[in-house]
Amino acid sequence: MSEITGNEIIHQYLRHNKKFPHVLCAGCGHGIVLGTLIRSIHSLGIPRDDVVVVAGIGCSGRLAVYVDFNTIHTTHGRALTFATGIKMANPKLNVITIMGDGDALSIGGNHLIHAARRNIGVTALVLNNNIYGMTGGQSSPATPLGSTTMTSPYGQLDKSFDTVELAKGAGANYVARGTVFHVRKLEKIMTEAIARPGFSLVEAITPCHTQYGRKNKYKSPVDMYKWMKKAAISVERYEELPEDQREDRLPIGVFVAKDRPGFEERYFAMKAEFQKKTVKGGK
């Protein structure tokens, strides 16, 4: 028998008592992100019992239920707060949060910047589809300027958040961006993000054709993948581009890669110091 590869690996990690195919629309990139996450965890050889997937609310929030890890579907925007508690309670666990763009950047924006500042040892996946998908296509903080959505029928007036810049500014340990078209690259950064200490953020650009694409001149899900193929450019090459050619390009790759110890490491090191002192001081 040949070695098991590809989707057969993923099949082993799916919950067999859940109904498949999953609930997401045809062509939704979230499934690809989930597959990539499973491959990353598999390649790192982390036992399932040690993996905690903490999801927020929205389309991305529905992913957790399908995988055979410890899975927690939390409240809207709060995934990182639950994850912080779990990681501090048991630092041995690999805690991964799955959040959408509305989840992570709007309602959960405060938690995101503080998780980054605190450098808690959690991997945050931000599945950016530029829209609130599950509620029917309202504009999110990642909706591009001028886009049509259910709550910006005359065009989005405000500028969207740059997740990467936000995380960088907040002091995250590891910041990277990938797309679901460039899956191998996404898998590489996701694996690195999970393996690193401290707070890692991976933004995955994933298209929502049903709620965003259709209203913004993308005829089919395939068109959105073509857009990603065209727009994405490695961060190294992006930096070389002259300023006027940068518009409409999407830099992908690793933006920050530090090895600062996570908050939990620092906390338990402090505790260990106390314990040493008590042993010394004991009569």
Partner 1 sequence: MAKKDKGKSKVTVYPDWCKGCGICVEFCPAKVLELNAQGKCTVVREEDCIRCGFCELHCPDFAIVVRDKEFPQKDKSENSDKKTATGKGA
Partner 2 sequence: MARRKKRKEIFALGNEAVVEGALLAGCSFYGGYPITPSTEIMEIMSARLPKTEDGVFIQLEDEIASMGAIIGASLAGRKAMTATSGPGFSLMQENLGYAIMAETPVVLVNVMRGGPSTGLPTCPAQGDVQQARWGTHGDHPIIVLSASNVQECLEMTITAFNMAEKYRTPVILLLDEVTAHTREKIEIPNEGEFEVFSRTIPSMPPEWYKPYEETVRGVSPMPPIGSGYRFHVTGLTHDRNGFPSQRPEEVVELMERIHRKIDQFFYDIQLVEEIDTDDADVVVIAYGCVARSAELAVQQARENGVKAGLLKLKTLFPYPRRHTERVLAHAKSLIVPEMNMGQMSREVKRVNMGRVPVRTINRIDGQIVTPSEILKVIMQG
Q: Which residues bind partner 1 (CB under 8 A)?
A: 2-3, 5-8, 10-11, 14, 20-22, 24-32, 35-36, 42, 45, 180-181, 183-184, 220-222, 225-226
Query: Could you tell me if 33 and 202 are in contact, meaning their C-beta atoms sit under 8 angstroms apart?
Result: no
Please report which residue ranges of the chain form alpha helices under DSSP H.
6-13, 30-44, 79-89, 101, 109-118, 163-169, 183-195, 221-231, 235-240, 263-281
Instruction: Give the number of other CB atoms < 10 A from CB of residue 45.
Output: 6
Beta carbon nearer to partner 2, 70 or 234: 70
Q: Is the peptide bond before 261 cis (omega within 30 degrees of 0)?
A: no
Task: Decide: helix, strand or coil at residue 204.
Answer: strand
How far apart are CB 12 and partner 2 at their closest, in Å?
A: 14
How far apart are CB 137 and partner 2 at their closest, in Å?
A: 21
Beta carbon nearer to partner 1, 1 or 279: 1
Rounded to the nearest angstrom, the gap between the alpha carbon of residue 207 and the centroid of all alpha carbons in its chain is 14
* Binding partner of 93, given partner 1, partner 2, none, CB within 5-8 angstroms per partner class: partner 2
Q: How far apart are CA 272 and CA 277, in angstroms?
A: 9
Beta carbon nearer to partner 1, 65 or 88: 65
Beta carbon nearer to partner 1, 19 or 280: 19
* Binding partner of 8, given partner 1, partner 2, none, CB within 5-8 angstroms per partner class: partner 1
* Binding partner of 5, given partner 1, partner 2, none, CB within 5-8 angstroms per partner class: partner 1
Q: Residues 218-222: contacts with CB within 8 Å, 24+ apart?
A: 220/27, 221/26, 221/27, 221/28, 222/27
Q: How far is CA 54 from CA 6, 46, 120, 187, 242, in A?
A: 24, 16, 14, 19, 40
Beta carbon nearer to partner 1, 11 or 276: 11
* Binding partner of 73, given partner 1, partner 2, none, CB within 5-8 angstroms per partner class: partner 2
Helix-helix angle 109-118:79-89, to 10 degrees: 30
How far apart are CB 159 and partner 1 at their closest, in Å?
A: 29
Binding interface with partner 2 (CB under 8 A): 17-18, 48-50, 52, 54, 64-65, 68-75, 78, 80-90, 92-93, 110-111, 114, 263, 267, 270-271, 274, 278
How far apart are CB 142 and partner 2 at their closest, in Å?
A: 21
Query: Could you tell me if 121 and 267 are in contact, meaning their C-beta atoms sit under 8 angstroms apart?
Result: no
How far apart are CB 134 and partner 2 at their closest, in Å?
A: 12
* Binding partner of 11, given partner 1, partner 2, none, CB within 5-8 angstroms per partner class: partner 1
How far apart are CB 27 and partner 2 at their closest, in Å?
A: 23
Q: How far apart are CA 37 and CA 54, in angstroms?
A: 13
Query: Could you tell me if 32 and 183 are in contact, meaning their C-beta atoms sit under 8 angstroms apart?
Result: yes
Tokens 């992570």 sit on residue: 104
Beta carbon nearer to partner 2, 64 or 164: 64
* Binding partner of 22, given partner 2, partner 1, none, CB within 5-8 angstroms per partner class: partner 1
How far apart are CB 228 and partner 1 at their closest, in Å?
A: 11
Structure tokens at 99: 């959040």
Q: How far apart are CA 93 and CA 82, in angstroms?
A: 13
